[in-house]
Amino acid sequence: MSEEHEVLTYPDFGIAVREVAQMIVDDGFTPDIIMCIARGGLPFGGALGYALDIKQITEMNVEFYTGINDRLPAPILLPPSPQPHDLRDLKVLIADDVSDTGTTLRFTQDFLHQYAAETRTAVIYEKPHTRLHADFVWRYTDRWIDFPWSTLPPVTRRGRPEPELTEVELTEVTVIEVDQA
């Protein structure tokens, strides 16, 4: 894996959502529900819900990564888990931030295949060594990805010592102009 990081900005996130939504529409897949893989897939799945005008959005909390390149031996489903009868005969779009090894996506898809009529997968990024290639992918990278919602450390109460922040040098800024006319 490259030592450099891929940095996703919020403006690029907006572009990614719209482009992946267009891929889904162009493919002809019309999901009944979006299953977000928590936590990384929550922002993406929620935004796809708006882009695709899908209000049925739910989540599965699948724990696999515990840090940069630190993983559990196998993914685990944390409670609360989806109710199978709620998914019966539905077309489900599984949304996650990245298909790195593909293990989390495979675990989620295997679980949902028992109940759903059809499942498809959408990710912002896919790594070249993944074992599950997503149906809809915005970008491909072999770098560690810094997502805008998970780059900074968690917020702490005032008065408590704050963790040290690491300065990240950005080499590029994307500006999107919106024509209000």
- CA-based radius of gyration for the chain: 17
Examine residue 111 and state whether it is found in any structural domain, yes or no. yes
Mean of the per-residue pLDDT values of the chain: 87
In a domain, 62, yes or no: yes
Domain assignment of residue 154, yes or no: no
At 63 the pLDDT is: 78
N-terminal to C-terminal alpha carbon distance within the chain: 45
Residue 29 lies in a domain: yes
Query: In this predicted structure, what is the pLDDT of residue 160?
Result: 64
CA-to-CA distance for 47 and 115, rounded, in angstroms?
Answer: 25
CATH of the domain at 129: 3.40.50.2020
Q: Looking at the domain assignment, is residue 89 inside a domain?
A: yes
Structural domain harbouring 128: 2-146
Q: Is 167 inside a domain boundary? A: no
Contact at 8 Å (CB) between 134 and 105? yes
Q: Is the pLDDT of residue 64 over 90?
A: no
Per residue in 7-31, pLDDT (tens digit) is 999 999 999 999 999 999 999 999 9
Residue 178 lies in a domain: no
Is residue 71 included in any domain, yes or no? yes
**Counted domains in the chain:** 1
pLDDT digits (tens, 9 = 90+) for 73-122: 777 777 777 787 889 999 999 999 999 999 999 999 999 999 999 999 99
Sole residue written with tokens 């989620």: 108
Distance separating alpha carbons of residues 40 and 147, to the nearest angstrom: 9
- The three-point CA angle 152-106-80 to 5° equals 65
pLDDT at 86: 85
